[in-house]
Each structure stands twice: as C-alpha cells, then as structure tokens.
C-alpha cells in the first residue's frame, strides 16, 4: 500500500508524551475526499489528522506521527485528557450514514497493523472519537464494523461476563463516566451493540462487564506487540 503526502500546517509538538499510545478513528462527515482534505489542511480551520483514508482505499498522510495533530478536541479516556498528545488520528471518508467502503476498510487494516506494530500498541488502543467524547461526537458511528477489526487483531471485542455495575465497569474500561449513563450507554452501543435501543438491559451489562474484566484501563495502552508490522511505501 502506498501513502500520498498532503501536508497540513495544523499540528504542534506532543505535550509530555514520548510517542502515541492510542489510535483514534473518525469519519469525515463531508461530501467528498477533496473537501475533507481542504478542511484538514486549512490553517483557518485549526483541525487535522495524521491520516485520511478515501473510499477508494487511497491513504493520505497529513501530519507526521511524531507530531500532535488536532483531531481529538476535548475529552477524556482512561482518566486522562489531551488525547491529541497521546494518539494517532485517522479520518475515514464516510458520511456517517452509509456502510464503510470495502477498499477503505482494507487500507485501514493495513495501516492499523503497521501503526500498532511500530508503536507496540495493544489492539485495545484503537478507539473511536465517540468513546472519549460522547457528549460531542458520534464517529465513527454505528455503521463502522468494529467486530471485523477485532477478528483481525486490530481492535477488541468483549466476551459477555457476569453482569455487575454498568457504570463502574465502564469506568474500568476507560469511558468518561462523569458524563452520565445515557451518554456512556449510547457510546458503548454505537461500538459494541449498534442495533440495540431502549433502556439499558442485561446484555449491555454483560458486555460491559466483559470489557472491564478483559480490557481494563489500568492494563495500560501500550503492551507487547500483538500484530506484525508491515512496512508502507510512502509516495511524495
């Protein structure tokens, strides 16, 4: 897979971090790839990401991974703020309503395998914008196939466990529970139970318990390498 460079001026130094320990997935929510690139490279917009993946599967690099791109905004994951300083941001060319294109998903899988391998990240480190900012964001949304990534070792999927306190387990997994149960339940369902609706039920409790049991936040974001690193060929 080749990567095209489309440098954005919107970045700065990482603050107090040696390197990224998270990967954050977004959807662009825009009418075209070019419109998204223009916005991400516009200094007046003050927004960017490290990568953008088109529906066609083409990958653009906008900001070097060593730098702090401006994609996350306010939010908290695993009890820590400034997600920009500790993450690699990947924008996916999608409007949030349609299924994600197959070429895009294949390129994302290749890119994630490379990032996780180079930075020794556990698959748990791959999160969505809505995971840590559910009061502001809904991306990558209910159409994104998280289970597919988990099956390839590029994210995680919970095995239901003995239900416990939903919000206590949500905090153990990393969710910002200070925002309240309604927002946390919605963020959880967007990712793990996209077809669910209505009041919280036993299935929600069991899956959240599985997340807390097998993927607690205090395990840390960086663990031993779990996926092979496949070199990518940059193209200027």
* Residue 178 CB burial class (10 angstroms; 0-12, 13-18, ≥19): exposed
Catalytic residues: 91
What φ, ψ does residue 197 adopt, rounded to 5°?
Answer: -150, 175
Three-state SS annotation for 113-129? HHHHHHCCECHHHEEEH
Kindly list the domain boundaries of the chain, sorted by start residue: 1-157, 159-220
Alpha-carbon span 156 to 123, nearest angstrom: 6
Q: Determine the average pLDDT of the residues in 71-87.
A: 95
CA distances for 200 relative to 28, 113, 163, 167, 226, angstroms: 29, 34, 12, 11, 33
Adjacent-strand bridge partners of 59: 3, 53
Q: What is the pLDDT of the chain when averaged over all its residues?
A: 92
Homologous superfamily in CATH for domain 1-157: Peptidoglycan recognition protein-like (3.40.80.10)
The pLDDT of residue 231 = 36
Q: Determine the average pLDDT of the residues in 26-43.
A: 97
Q: Assess whether pLDDT exceeds 50 at residue 198.
A: yes
Alpha-carbon span 108 to 61, nearest angstrom: 13
Q: Assess whether pLDDT exceeds 50 at residue 169.
A: yes
pLDDT confidence of 218, banded at 50, 70, 90?
Answer: low
Summarize pLDDT for 36-76 with one digit per residue, the tens: 999 999 999 999 999 999 999 999 999 999 999 999 999 99
For the entire predicted model, the pTM comes to: 0.92
Q: Assess whether pLDDT exceeds 90 at residue 233.
A: no
Q: Determine the average pLDDT of the residues in 72-81.
A: 94
- Pick the more confident residue, 121 or 218: 121
The pLDDT of residue 16 = 87
Q: Assess whether pLDDT exceeds 90 at residue 217.
A: no
């Amino acid at each position: 897979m080749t990567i095209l460079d489309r440098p954005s001026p919107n970045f700065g130094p990482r603050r107090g971090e040696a390197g990224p320990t998270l990967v954050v997935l977004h959807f662009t929510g825009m009418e075209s790839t070019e419109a998204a690139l223009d916005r991400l490279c516009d200094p007046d917009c003050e927004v960017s990401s490290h990568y953008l993946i088109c529906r066609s599967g083409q990958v653009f690099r906008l900001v070097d991974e060593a730098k702090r791109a401006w994609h996350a905004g306010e939010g908290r994951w695993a009890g820590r703020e400034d997600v920009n300083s500790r993450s690699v941001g990947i924008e996916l060319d999608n409007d949030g309503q349609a299924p994600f294109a197959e070429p895009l998903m294949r390129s994302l899988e290749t890119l994630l395998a490379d990032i996780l391998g180079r930075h020794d990240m556990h698959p748990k480190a791959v999160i969505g914008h809505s995971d840590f900012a559910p009061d502001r964001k809904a991306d990558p949304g209910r159409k994104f196939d998280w289970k597919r990534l988990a099956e390839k070792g590029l994210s995680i999927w919970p095995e239901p466990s003995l239900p416990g306190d939903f919000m206590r387990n949500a905090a153990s997994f990393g969710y910002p529970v200070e925002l309240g149960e309604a927002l946390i339940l919605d963020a959880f369902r967007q990712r793990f139970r996209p077809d669910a609706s209505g009041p919280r039920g036993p299935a929600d409790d069991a899956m959240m318990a599985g997340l807390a049991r097998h993927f607690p936040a205090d395990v840390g974001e960086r663990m031993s390498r779990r996926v092979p690193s496949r070199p990518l060929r940059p193209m200027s």
